[in-house]
Structure formats: C-alpha cells, structure tokens
Amino acid sequence: MAREFSIAVAGATGAVGQTFLKVLAERNIPMKELRLLASERSEGKKINFKGNELTVHRLEHDSFEGIDIALFSCGGDRSLTFAPSAAKAGAVVVDNSSAWRMDPDVPLVVPEVNPHAISGYKNKGIIANPNCSTIQMVVALKPLHDKARIKRIVVSTYQAVSGTGHKAIIELENQIIAWAEGKPMENKVYPHRIAFNCLPHIDSFLENGYTKEEMKMVNETRKIMEIPDVMVSATTVRVPVFYSHSEAVNVEFETPVSPDEAKELLKNAPGVRLVDDPSKNEYPLAIDAQGQDLTYVGRIRKDLSCENGLAMWVVADNIRKGAATNAVQIAEVLMDKYL
C-alpha cells in the first residue's frame, strides 16, 4: 500500500489555495490528513473536499506539527513569517509567493525543467514555486535549450487579471457591465481601467525602467534553467482576459533549430501541447488553456531578424500550471523520491 502523507494548505480560502484543493483532489494525492489554514478572518469556515467537510484553522507558528508537506499561498510576508516554522516542525514547504525564489539556498522548481533541484529542499526545508509567467515560458523552452543552447530571450506577456487576484476579476466584470450600460467605469485595483485596454505595468517600476514582474522573468529564468549568463528582456502587460497568460517569445540559439525541428521536439515534450496549424486557424488560445495543466505552444516560425532564432506563442492557465498545479507536481516528486 502506498504511503499516505499529511498535507497542509496555508491560504486555503484564496483563489490559488482553492485551486490547490481542486488539484489535490483531481490527482488523487494519497493523504492521511489535509489541514486547511488561513488568516483569522477565515477561521472556522467549512470547505468541502471530496465529500468531506473540513474546518479552516488559523495559520499560526504551531500549525504544522505532524505535517509532511505544506503548500503555501498566503502572500510573501506571511510566508517569510510562517514558512520557517513549518520547516522547523519537519514539513517541506512549497511556497507560491516571491519571498524565497531568489534565495540561493532555496530551489526554484518547475518539474518538467529542473526536477533534480528539488533535493535542495534539505537546505532550509523550503522549495519556491516560480512566477506564473516564468513557469510556462521555461516549460516551452527547455526541450529547445537541450537541443541548442539558448543565448537570448525576448518575451512580451499578455497576462490575465486573475494574476492580480479575485478583486481584479470583479473589477473587470464590473467595468464591462458599466460599459454595456453606458455608465462610468471605476478603477480601484489598477491605475487605469482594464476593460478594453492593455496596461504595460505589472507590479511596481524599478530604477532600471523595468517592473518587478519583468525582472522576475529575467532572474527566475536564469536560475531555473541554470544558464546564469542568458540574456533576457521582458515586457509584461495586463490585458482584459480573466484566466490564462499568453506570451510572445523570441529565442536566439547558439546553433540552428528549424521550426520543424522545434515542433518535433515540443510535440513530445513533458507538460506541452503543440497547437500549430495556422492554415486551420489553430494556435494556442487563452480560453482553451483555461482550466488545463498543460502549456500550449504554437505559431512557431523562424525569427527573420537573426540567424539562429525562433519566434513562438505560449499560453497556460496562470492559476493552475502557473501556480497550484506546479506546486502539487513538486509535492508529487517529493512524495515519490524524497519523503
């Protein structure tokens, strides 16, 4: 009989926390206990999991006794506060915030790309889940990098409002309704209205003119793919889509890779679905990726501006593969190989 594990979900009532529970149920993770944790605001709330009613408990420093794996989706500050306590209690933390990603003692993991890095959890008892936009890009790029080393990446993202949270989804809904009724559109979540608009502004701006989101893609890509010298330039844009991030990715390699070779490599790559037949209007769409765990790749073509370049279009559900599913996949590797 397979061993069963005790799992805690910190931030269980949030959008990603709820998706953690959905993915845990879908993938039939063997559990002897599922402990739901959240802020005092949600303490006592009941959540149905596979027909059982579970009570949400307050997230505290002593919440992790007897827990094997703690899935965290409760914000960077709370992760910095509580993740060390979980690790001290013997749990392995898989954290979805940005708090630990660039810590040299904490592995930053996408299971299709660098599963070997998971062993680094022994340093601090913590594994970091990368940024959603980074995850889908490196899933698509890893098979190509293995064929011909990547020199340079230029990426422009088109990111769904769900990446900002439930309040942003509501704001977009309300703005669309107001527009349809001829009423003024209010914006509180974003500095400008998001309905029928594109905002080249995700997270705060830094002194170099890039945003934090853009620099996450630069630094996380280097760490995950273990190519610290790769050149990356990112422009991240918020668009009026509810779920799934889309990316235009331009890659320059050290040696040639033809579009046909790339398609063949990606067709059988783990975690990838190739959708690439423009003659039939078949290419990755945000609405098709929504609710799915795969990274969709298409529009693969030669980059006409450099000798060894390709351009492609990459789409994935930012709440699932971009957050919850990736974390649960890390937990599966931990259960299978390390715990």
Q: Which residues are catalytic?
A: 132, 245
φ and ψ at residue 267, rounded to 5 degrees: -60, -35
Radius of gyration of the chain (CA): 20
Angle between helices 132-147 and 259-267 (to 10 degrees): 110
Those residues with Cβ within 8 angstroms of residue 116's Cβ, 6 or more apart along the chain or in another chain:
none
* Residue 308 buriedness (CB in 10 A; 0-12 / 13-18 / 19+): middle
Those residues with Cβ within 8 angstroms of residue 311's Cβ, 6 or more apart along the chain or in another chain:
248, 249, 250, 251, 299, 300, 301, 302, 303
Q: What CA–CA distance (Å, rounded) separates 213 from 206?
A: 10
* Residue 285 buriedness (CB in 10 A; 0-12 / 13-18 / 19+): middle
Task: Copy the structure tokens of residue 209.
Answer: 């003119």
| Residue the block writes with tokens 């010298």 | 229
Q: What CA–CA distance (Å, rounded) separates 83 from 10?
A: 10
3-state class (DSSP) for residue 64: coil
Does an H or E element contain 190, and which?
none
Integer CA distances (angstroms), 220 to 47, 98, 165, 175, 276, in order: 34, 10, 22, 34, 27
| Residue the block writes with tokens 């991030």 | 245
Those residues with Cβ within 8 angstroms of residue 194's Cβ, 6 or more apart along the chain or in another chain:
161, 168, 171, 172, 175, 187, 238, 239, 240
Q: Half-sphere exposure of 316 toward its Cβ, with a 13 Å CA cutoff?
A: 28
